[in-house]
Amino acid sequence: MFPPSVLAWALLAASPSSVDSQVPDSVGLHDEARSLQRRFERHRVRELPRTLTGGSRECDEIIGRLCIWDDGDDEWTPRPEPEAIGQARARLLAEFAVLAESIPGDHWLFGQRVRYLAEAGRLEDAEALATSCGLPDRWRCDAYRGFALHLQGRTAAATTAFDRALGTMPVALGGEWTNPEPVLGGELREWLREQPDSTRAVARIWTLADPLFLADGNDRWTGHLTRWTYAMSAEGARNPHGMRWAEDLTEAAVRYGWSISWEKGWPRGGEATAPVVGRDPPAAARTFPTRDVLEPSEDDAVLPWTLPKGHARSAYLSPYLDSLGVLEGQIGRFWRRDHILVVAAAHTGGLLDRAADAGLFVLDGSWSDAAGEDGHLALDLRATPDSSGAVRFAGGVAPTEWGVASLETWDRHRRRARRLRVGMGLRPVPPDVFALSDLMLVEASAGEGEPVALEQAALEQAALGPTTLEEMIKSLRTSTEAYGEDVLGVALEVYGLGYRAEAVGLRAWVEDRSPSAFRRLARRLGLAGPAEIVSVQWDEAGPDQPGPFLRVFGIRLPRLDAGAYDVAVEVSVPGRLPLTRRRAFTVPERH
C-alpha cells in the first residue's frame, strides 16, 4: 500500500527574478541579507557530493521548471552533509541575527532565519525565534511557530499555532492554504466538487489522511500547513538549483515537501553548469484515501484501502516516523441487536516488540466540520502486543451508514509504523433478516491441538474448538498467510435463523486470485476447469431458537503455489437467495 520511493527534483530552466519593495531606510540592509543568502547557496552547490543520475532520467511529471521523478530506491539514505556546508550555514545564521537587530520587522529575513535553523536541525531554536517574533503581521509569527512545532512532532501545539495563523491571515491566503485540491488526485478532486457540503467533505478528506490515529492530532494537516509556511519562508530566495523561488517550487513543496538532501550531477554536453538533484525522504507515502472509502457503498462490503501504483500526486512522511508500511492482519464485523462488533487481529511480524503501541480505530459517518480534526472516533481501542507479537481487538460501534476501520502498530523507538485500513458498511441488520457476518480466519485446532480438516461431512466441524464468539476472537489468526497443506480455519455467523425449523446448506471453496497467464487463457478457451481449487459442501440443521448462528470449520489446503487466493463460503436456506462471504489470503514463497 505504501511503496517506498525517493522523490527527486531537477532544474529544467532558469527562473525570473523578483524584488520585494522595502521601506527606504531598510533597503540596503535587506539587500545585504539577500546577497548573503545567495552567497551561501552558491557555496553549498560547490560543496555538494556528486551523483551519476543527476537529471539524466525521464521525468514522471514536469511542474514549471522542475523535473519530478520517483526514484524507487528504498535503500537510499541521505549522504552526510559536508562539514563545510554546515559551517557556512552557521556563519549565515550569525550574520542574519546581526542584521535582524536593525530590521526586526523584515519578514523575508525572519523567514530565512527560521528555515535555515530548521535545516540545521535546530528546531528548538527555530521555535524560540518564532515565539519571540516581532513581525507586524502576527499571523506569520504563529505560522512559523506551527512550522517548528510540527517538525518536532508536537502536533497538538502546532495545530493551535496554525489555527491562530489561519484566523488572522488574509482571507484569500487562508483559502489557498487550506484548499486540499492541489494535493489530491483526479478522482478525489472530482468527488470533492460533487459534494453539496464542501466544508464537511474537506474535513472528511483531511480526517482520513491522518497517517496514524495512534499518534495525537492530525499531523498530515499540520504538515500541509508546514509546507505552505516553508514556501512562504523561501519566497524570492535562492536555492541549490540556482533558482529564485516561484510558484512551481511552491506547488512542488506543497505536494511533496522540500528536499532533505541535494546532490550534484555532471555537466551534460554543451552545458557549463551541472544539474542539482534534490531528494525527498525515501519512505514518503500516499496518505489520502481512495474515493471508495469516502462514501457509502451500495452493498455491505468491506473495501480494502488499496492505493494505486505509479507516480503519486502527493506524498508525505510524519516527522515521528522513518517508515509507514502495510500491516498484515484482518478486520471483520459481527452484528448484534443494538451494535456492530468490529473484530481485528494482526501480528507485528518481528518489526515491533512488546513495548510497541497497537490500536483499532473506527471512524463513523459523524465527521467533524473542522479540517484537521480527528472526526468522530466511534471506537478507540489500544493495547500492546503479547509475547508472540500478536494483537487481537473487539469493540462495539453504533450502526450508521458507513465507516473506516484502522488497525495500527507503532514502534516509537524504531520510528516505524504499519497500518491496515478498510472502508466498511455499518448499517444495522434486523434480527429476522437472513444475513452473514464477515468471514474470519481462525487457528484450526481440535481438542489437544491437532488440526482437523473438513473434507466430507460437517460432523467434524465442532471439533475445531471455538463454540462462542468470544472464544473465536481469541483464536483469530493474526496473519492472512497460509501454506499449502495447512488446515485453514474459517468462522462466520449466520443471522435470521431459528424462527422456524429449517436446514442450512454450506459450501466452502478456495479460488486462485492470481492464476498464471497460461491458465487464464486456458479458462477462456474452455481447456481448464473452474477457478475452484478445493471445495467442500454439507447440510445441517439450523438453530432451534433465534440468534446468531456461529459456524467454525477447517479446509485442508492442497499444495499451493505462491500467490493470492480467496476462501469463500456460501450459505443457503430453502426459499431464500444464497449468500456468500470471502476472505483473501496469500501463500508466500517457501524459503
Alpha helices in 155-218 (DSSP H): 155-168, 171-178, 186-194, 198-209
- Model pTM score: 0.87
Cell of 494: 449466520
Name the class of domain 432-591: mainly beta
pLDDT, residue 11, reads 54
Number of H helices, E strands in the chain: 13, 22
Q: Is the dihedral of CA 444, 449, 453, 454 positive or negative?
A: negative
CB-CB neighbours of 3 under 10 Å:
16
Q: What CA–CA distance (Å, rounded) separates 352 from 249? A: 38
CA distance readout (Å), 371 to 15, 197, 217, 229, 286:
34, 13, 12, 17, 18
Q: What CA–CA distance (Å, rounded) separates 379 from 519? A: 44
Reported residue count of the chain is: 591
H or E stretch including 129? helix 123-131
Q: Which residues contact 266 (CB under 8 A, 6 or more apart)?
A: 50, 52, 54, 274
Residues of the chain with CATH 2.60.40.3880: 432-591
pLDDT, residue 462, reads 37
Burial of 487 per CB tally in 10 Å (0-12, 13-18, 19+): buried
Q: How would you write the pLDDT of the chain (591 residues) with one tens digit per residue?
A: 444 444 555 555 444 444 444 444 689 999 999 999 999 999 999 999 887 765 456 888 899 988 888 866 666 778 889 999 999 999 999 999 999 999 999 999 999 999 999 999 999 999 999 999 999 999 999 999 999 999 999 999 999 999 999 999 999 999 999 999 999 999 999 999 999 988 888 988 999 999 999 999 999 999 999 999 999 999 999 989 888 888 999 999 999 999 888 888 777 766 667 788 888 877 888 899 988 888 766 667 788 888 777 888 999 999 999 999 999 899 999 999 999 999 999 988 655 455 689 999 999 876 555 555 545 689 999 998 888 889 999 999 999 888 999 999 999 988 999 999 999 999 999 999 999 999 999 987 543 333 333 443 333 443 455 678 999 999 999 999 988 778 899 999 999 999 998 999 999 999 988 765 555 555 555 554 456 788 888 999 999 999 999 999 888 888 888 889 999 999 999 999 999 999 999 998 876
Q: What CA–CA distance (Å, rounded) separates 59 from 233? A: 27
SS3 of residue 357 by DSSP: strand
Q: How many CA atoms lie within 13 A of 122 on its CB side?
A: 15
DSSP state, residue 456: S
Amino acid letter, residue 569: V
pLDDT, residue 589, reads 85
Q: What CA–CA distance (Å, rounded) separates 174 from 297? A: 34
Q: What CA–CA distance (Å, rounded) separates 275 from 530? A: 56
With contact defined as beta carbons under 8 Å apart, do 305 and 1 qualify? yes
Helix axes 107-119, 138-151, angle to 10 degrees: 0
